[in-house]
Amino acid sequence: MSSQLSPTKAKFNLSYVHMAVIFFLMFGFGYLPTIGTITPIGMKILGIFIGLLYGWSTCGMLWPSLLGMFALGFSGMGSVKEMLAMCFSNDIVIFLLFILILVEMINQSGAANAIVNFFITRKVLQGRPWLFSFVFLLSAGLLCTFGQAFVAYLLCWGLLQSLALRVGYKPYDAYPTIMIIGVVISSAAIGMMVPFKGTPLLLLGAYTGITQLTVNYLQYMLVMIPAGLLFLICYLFFCRLIIKPNMAPMHNMNVDELIGESSAITKRQKASLLAFGFFLLLLLIPGCLPTTWPFVAWLNRIGNSGMAIFCTVLFTLIHVEGEPLLDYNKLSRTGMNWPIVFMVAVLMAMTSLLMNDATGIKTFLLTIMQPLLAHCSGFTLLILLLLLGTVMTNFMNNMVVGFMLIPILVAISSTIEVNVVAGVLMIIVACNAAFLTPAASPAAAMLFAKKDWLHGQDIVKIGAISIVILLVLGSTIVFGLGSLLF
């Protein structure tokens, strides 16, 4: 009896190749001959770092991060136990453990959806299609930032498609195209405004890990909020002047028909919003009130992690409708993103170790970069990093790109006069420009997959113009305000 062969060849499983590369980088790279001023310990640290970047880009965040923590114990910088203590003793890691729960409190209560419904059902938007477009995209960006991003994308796209069909648009028409793409644009715009979540939190943490300096959240938001709002406004302005979609169907639209359920905010949602607002107020107070005031001095003494812990306990004790406002056990099951936590933990240790004098990596970077940047001003350097980051983030994980560029910026700053914090903010802007190719981000991949409503060339065209707008804002507003405030 003959066996029947499959008509197609089985695909080779690349995951085993990726695993082999990661293990070699983390445990074998350090035994290669040293390069320049990099010491044997530095080679091991560098191998682990490259292995982490490669692993995060090919195999996800979880097991490469855990393996990296383990590998650090064989780098010569300390035992596994000491390296684990170094990873998890960082203030950013503790803060992340609680901010994830506080944000999930908003998401689980439905407050984010209620806010979106409230804004887009205002009567003032009736007959003003461009104002409606701005408010809708702003609300969508907030929902994507503070809610479950993937769910938010699908929700907003579903609302837009329902609206488009109801008022008379068809798939591939200009207006639904710019709005569906605009949800991702808005998510990038709002995402870079918030320093305590997502990419900004991680990259600011990387900067703190290298320099032991913190970036004031209030000052950060004073730079990034205007930049983000201008980005969204310029996007719609470009669409209005260049793409010129037919807006006639939108003039007679009834906004209330867009929402299938009442936009009234419940008691629990109000309580969640007030509680989260109180937490944000505590984070911002140290940056806007005199440090000599006892309450401000107390906040500075407990730090961001202490504020998060204090608010978690307080909100657990507050009951709304017979249940705790914050149920940690319940929220941790859906809101605790352990891959991100482990990635941040190993990153905080790694960024500090990379710049340690025992590795020789900082000296090596300066030796390589100094001749190339001998006649380069600080502003030119930041523009180059902005351009490089923007290109790389559309083909690589955006956080990986940031983790690569920030150590280079800090190292070069010792030889070129440059505002490092302004540069970090510009790198964050670049890392939020991840929407030009399907490989740029999960959101971009979902966008390119919407072939029933979007043409791929339209995504590339509109995305490219959006990136140009973001680059202009990054090199003007972000650089200017960043240099002024930091």
Which pLDDT score, from 0 to 100, does residue 405 have?
85
Which pLDDT score, from 0 to 100, does residue 198 have?
77
Residue 323: DSSP 8-state: E
Contact 154, 196 (CB under 8 A): no
Q: What is the pLDDT of residues 327-339, one digit of tens each?
A: 999 988 887 878 8
DSSP 307-321: HHHHHHHHHHH-EET
* Nearest residue to 35 (alpha-carbon basis) of 26, 47, 24, 23: 47
Contact 121, 272 (CB under 8 A): no
Q: Report how far residue 356's alpha carbon sits from residue 351's, in angstroms, rounded to the nearest whole number.
A: 9
Torsion, CA 395, CA 439, CA 430, CA 120, rounded to 10: 170
- Rounded to the nearest 10 degrees, the angle between the axes of helix 91-109 and helix 129-146 is 130
Q: Which two tokens stand for residue 6?
A: 């499959």
pTM: 0.70
* Nearest residue to 90 (alpha-carbon basis) of 308, 349, 307: 349
Q: What is the pLDDT of residues 340-364, one digit of tens each?
A: 788 878 877 887 787 788 888 878 8
Using the Cα atoms of residue 347, residue 349, residue 351 and residue 354 in order, give the sign of their dihedral: negative
Neighbours of 151 (CB within 10 A): 13
Which pLDDT score, from 0 to 100, does residue 257 have?
57
Q: Report how far residue 327's alpha carbon sits from residue 341's, in angstroms, rounded to the nearest whole number.
A: 20
Which pLDDT score, from 0 to 100, does residue 2 have?
41
Contact 138, 119 (CB under 8 A): yes
Pairing, β 323-324 against β 319-320: antiparallel
How far is CA 199 from each of CA 81, 320, 400, 425, rounded to the nearest angstrom? 28, 32, 10, 11
- Rounded to the nearest 10 degrees, the angle between the axes of helix 14-27 and helix 62-72 is 20
Which pLDDT score, from 0 to 100, does residue 260 have?
52
Q: Which two tokens stand for residue 411?
A: 């190292």
Amino acid occupying residue 71: A
State which residues of the chain have pLDDT below 50.
Answer: 1-10
3-state secondary structure of 435: coil
Residue 255: DSSP 8-state: G
Q: Report how far residue 87's alpha carbon sits from residue 46's, in angstroms, rounded to the nearest whole number.
A: 17
